[in-house]
Amino acid sequence: AYFLRSFFKPDEPVVRIAIADADDNSEWNGVTVGTTKFSSHWNRKPGESLNLCTFTNADEVELRINGKSIGRKPNNVSDSKTRNRILWENIPYTKGYIEAIAYRNGEKTPVARHRLDTTGKATKLKIEGDNPKWKADGTDLIHVRISARDSKDRQVPDDSTPLKFHVDGPAEIAGVINGDITSEELTTGNSRRLFNGTATVILRSKREAGDVKLTVTPQGAMKPVTATFSTY
């Protein structure tokens, strides 16, 4: 998405770190159709060596690990195969943070930054809804995002805790999703595991207005959490 954004919004400075996890060598009718899988987090194994890309529409990008520069590379816009995609190979993982800093026109002041931090273990769940004017018409939806957070309230991007959902009030579960297109889980029902530290339960209103209480119960040590949303 950020790679495409770098092309379609050329006047908006973009830089984004994408770490190569593995090559998906899946086949379809005997033809290899897989691509490299990327993720955007800095929770890695000690001693691991990583390949990554920085997607950018700037002129050059500097990469820093825990504040120490490991070099600058130009954005080779003259080559359609590498344009807006800078490859960094064999980057040593060090706990802390990695940061990409983008520059334009030879200026010393950065035009964009992207930073990934090593987070702690998940200690709690956070609930956020997206529809403050949820209509009680029997069709209106609210997407409720649940994320795993560490002790500093940072999203834990490698948490995959299974969740169960329960609804009290004038609404019902319309679907459960987490962004994992390879998941074997159903999009219906009342359970879903976290993927990249998040999952979403979609609630559909009924035809009477009122308060809707959502309870999310995680498997394991984290405590259940609740949130109340109102239909009008």
Residue 182: predicted pLDDT: 87
Domain boundary at 66, 87, 117, which?
117
Across the chain, mean pLDDT equals: 94
Q: Which of 97, 117, 137 is the C-terminal boundary of a domain? A: 117
CATH number assigned to the domain comprising residue 29: 2.60.40.10
Same-domain check for residues 198 and 135: yes
pLDDT-flagged residues of the chain (< 50): none
DSSP line for the chain: -HHHHHHH-TTS--EEEEEEEEE---EETTEE---EEEE------TT-EEEEEEEESSSEEEEEETTEEEEEEE--TT-TTTTTEEEEEEEEP-SSEEEEEEE-TT-SS-SEEEEEE------EEEEEES-TT---SSS-EEEEEEEEE-TTS-B-TT---EEEEEEESSEEEEEEE-S-TT--S-SSSSEEE-BTTEEEEEEEE-SS-EEEEEEEEESSSSPPEEEEEEE-
Same domain, 38 and 109: yes
One domain, residues 169 and 209? yes
For 88-137, what is each residue's pLDDT tens digit? 999 999 999 999 999 999 999 999 999 999 999 999 999 999 999 999 99
Task: Indicate if 43 and 98 belong to the same structural domain.
Answer: yes
- Clarify whether residues 197 and 131 are in a common domain: yes
Structural domain containing residue 97: 2-117
Domain count, the chain: 2
Percentage of the chain modeled with pLDDT above 90 = 91
pLDDT in tens, 77-86: 999 999 999 9
113 and 159 co-located in one domain: no
| Same domain as 133, residue 101 | no
pLDDT of residue 26: 60
Same domain, 131 and 51: no
* Residue that is last in its domain, among 117, 147, 167: 117
Judge if 211 and 173 occupy the same domain.
Answer: yes
Q: Do 92 and 129 belong to one domain?
A: no
